Amino acid sequence: MIGNTNIPNPETDKPEIDGKPRKVLRKIEIRIPLGKEPERLDIFLARQVGELTRSRAQMMINEGAITINGSTVKTSHKVRPDELIKLEVLSRPPLDLEAEDIPLDIVWEDKWLVVINKPAGMVVHPACGNRSGTLVNALLHHYGELAKTDDPERPGVVHRLDKETSGLLVVCKRDPALSRLADQFRKHTVKREYRAITWWQMPKWEGLIDKPIGRDPRDRRKYTIRSDGKPARTHWELLEKYEYLNYISIRLETGRTHQIRVHTLSEEHPIFGDPDYSGRNRQLGRLTSGQRRKVAGYFEKITRQMLHAKTLGFKHPITRRDVYFESELPEDFAWLLSELRKDGVMRKRLVVE
């Protein structure tokens, strides 16, 4: 839909904010295509530029950091065919991140990397609304510092898990490891396998969901299937099936935000317990009264989506050796699985957890 030219320019200094320098991460030019319907500039940019929220786009427009055909405009300006938008995406000013003494389940570490078994309920890095209690705050207490990234809120972070998703995560302690490992994630060579419990019996034993994902225009905190989204591919395999739920294995080929949750919902098999992607109360209407009572009992103990990052494998960015890690299912996930198995199960293959 758009022409988008990214010109990396990490050495360009920008004015300081509160005495803290900022860098140009990307220079972007967007030529509005012929046939494009008029649309507010701030809304258009929030959809097209991954780093921008609508509020941040409005701020940049008001600061004159975004031009159309060489001139500044108002946030209410409506883009029209053949207009040329130019903007610079700047790094955020460094934050004073606090180290916090929070227990961590460290699976493995060396001088370069640390692999963590993240519990459900823990946010990976500080952001608006979550300035403390995150994995990064805990790691700073354990190690003093982490590898630097373009985003000062995410030192050492090369990939993330959603707050309520449990499982394996790798963080970089030192700079040389981070760029090399991030390259593996960009090239989709990292091996990641998840376990999930989903609604409604799958029609076959395995499959591939190949649907592009982008931000939900109705809710900026969520994502959805959209034709102009980023490519996303999710492989799944049915391990066990029950009366109205499934236990499945999922392998990611790409790593979009909320990818598994969005993809399973798009196939009408949302993740059990997921309140944001129709995996909780919205499914109850299809159950019998007896089934609803049973699920209500499950929900008393299950307060999150049943999604766990079980395995993680990659080539060590420094030693170049292949490394592989596996974690056990957390207590709530294992409990639900045992309850489902009491009612009988049809298995494709024996799975030992």
Per the listing, tokens 């060489």 go with 70
Q: Is 230 left (phi over 0), alpha (psi -120 to 50) or beta?
A: beta
The ranges assigned to domains in the chain are: 3-90, 106-186, 191-347
For residues 24-32, give the mean pLDDT. Answer: 83
Predicted local distance difference test score (pLDDT) of residue 88: 81
Lowest mean pLDDT among 17-26, 42-51, 310-319, 325-334: 17-26
pLDDT above 70 as % of the chain:
87
Residue 345 pLDDT level (bands cut at 50, 70, 90): low
> What distance in Å separates the CA atoms of residue 130 and residue 125, rounded to the nearest whole number?
8
Are the CB atoms for 135 and 116 separated by under 8 Å?
A: yes
pLDDT in tens, 76-102: 899 999 999 998 877 665 557 889 999
Q: Which residue has the tokens 């509160």?
A: 18
**pLDDT attached to residue 11:** 41
Q: Which of 96, 101, 105, 162 is labelled catalytic? A: 162
Phi, psi of 151 (to 5 degrees): -105, 110
pLDDT at position 128 is 61
Assigned CATH class of 3-90: alpha beta
Q: Beta strands 307-315 and 213-216: pairing type?
A: unpaired
Domains 106-186 and 191-347 are alike in CATH topology? yes
CB 181 within 8 A of CB 172: yes
pLDDT in tens, 162-197: 999 999 999 999 988 998 999 999 899 999 999 999
User: Would residue 42 show up in a list of annotated catalytic residues for this protein?
Assistant: no
Q: Which of 63-67, 108-112, 195-199 has the lowest mean pLDDT?
A: 63-67
**What is the mean predicted confidence (pLDDT) over 11-38?**
68
SS3 305: coil
Fold of 106-186: Pseudouridine synthase (3.30.2350)
Looking at CATH, the fold of the domain delimited by 191-347 is given as Pseudouridine synthase (3.30.2350)
Distance CA 69, CA 83 (A): 6
